[in-house]
Structure 1
């Protein structure tokens, strides 16, 4: 990937008729470092790449576009974006590039803590869900029963059973959830 980014930097720089020295003056990066970057011999921090993007007049995402399109079955960690925030507590990230084309919807969900006195309403919907706890203690409700799940624990259930999740701890809970059918499939 370093060669891909470096190649794009060089291509833009030469198209704008900038020298390495010109780019270095605009970004505060040394010409030696920029030369190594363009040849794929070094990696670059995101904030430094953002300076280069600004100097070259492109959005930071320009350096990453193409990877997802060429291999739409791979999502790199830097491509993951917040998809949805529900009730200010559930932060959803889709773990697929093509969520509208797939039958299963894989997500990373971060649950922020809530007050133990809050009532958790359970709901049902079509399909099934698989939950895998990465971090923290998840409280899972299924058919009015309460279960505590710890890192490495998982649950797989029919979504027609009333269910919901909660985080009654003082730390964030992170979990992987796979839902079928995918509610975003076209």
Structure 2
């Protein structure tokens, strides 16, 4: 029997975002201004009222200059020469949005330039998305099961079946929709050009505590 999968629930993701924001003395409006995510949406995420997609979480983390792993799987280590991490079957933290279920891999390391995930595509129509998904960098997608319609901002939609892939500029808007009877499953690997610019949260809290001690 496979071990139970870790769950990065809406409540835990929201609580970590709220802890980081309040720990730095930031208001929702300030975070909204830095990330481009509406204050109302941030509030709902923090209170576990809505499910944030990877793209929304990435937008928040990029705007705040923190690793996305800090929100999905705290307690990770920073990537460095000679380090490696293995994700066993069923061990990847899982979270979901209305359009996708994300099984994240290698979250025990942050500041790495690739973010690998296995995604179950729930969306059936591009109309189910409020806006295009887009983020700096590049993305590789490989279909594991079913068929996927990939909509991109500047090209006609393309259908990929099992074993087929696409590599593209992820700053171009994109959406994945399942067209098979069962929800399709894909591997998504995102290249993050900002990986080494992010703040290590352990360092952040350590420095914050040091400042408090100096003030005392």
**Coarse TM-score class (shorter-chain normalised):** 0.5 to 0.7
Residue 79 (1) aligns with residue 91 (2): yes
| 1:96 Cα deviation after fit | 0.8
Task: List structure 1 runs of 4+ shifted beyond 4 angstroms.
Answer: 182-186
Which residue, 151, 160, 166 being the options, matches 1:141?
151
Q: Which residue of 2 aligns with 1:170?
A: 181
Three-state SS of the structure 1 residue aligned to 2:110 is coil
The structure-2 alpha-carbon separation of the partners of 1:98 and 1:136, relative to structure 1 and needing over 3 Å to count, comes to same
Q: How does 1:24-63 map to 2 (within 5 A)?
A: 45=1
Q: Which SS does the other structure have where 1:131 is aligned?
A: strand
Count of matched residue pairs: 118
Distance 1:127 1:173 in 2: 24
Aligned twin of 2:127: 118
* Partner SS for 2:90: helix
- 2:97 equivalent to 1:104: no
Q: Does the CA contact (< 8 Å) of 1:133 and 1:174 recur in 2?
A: yes
1:154 corresponds, among 147, 161, 165, to 165
Give, in whole Å, the separation in 2 of the partners of 1:92 and 1:182.
Answer: 21
CA shift, 1:117, in A, is 8.0
Q: Distance in 2 between matches of 1:160 and 1:79?
A: 30
TM-score for both structures, normalised by structure 1:
0.54
Provide the TM-score with structure 2 as the length reference.
Answer: 0.47
Whole-angstrom CA distance in 2 between matches of 1:140 and 1:158: 13
Deviation at 1:113, TM superposition (A): 5.0
Whole-angstrom CA distance in 2 between matches of 1:165 and 1:117: 8
Aligned to 1:181: 192
SS at match of 2:127: coil
* Larger gyration radius, structure 1 or structure 2: 1
RMSD: 2.9
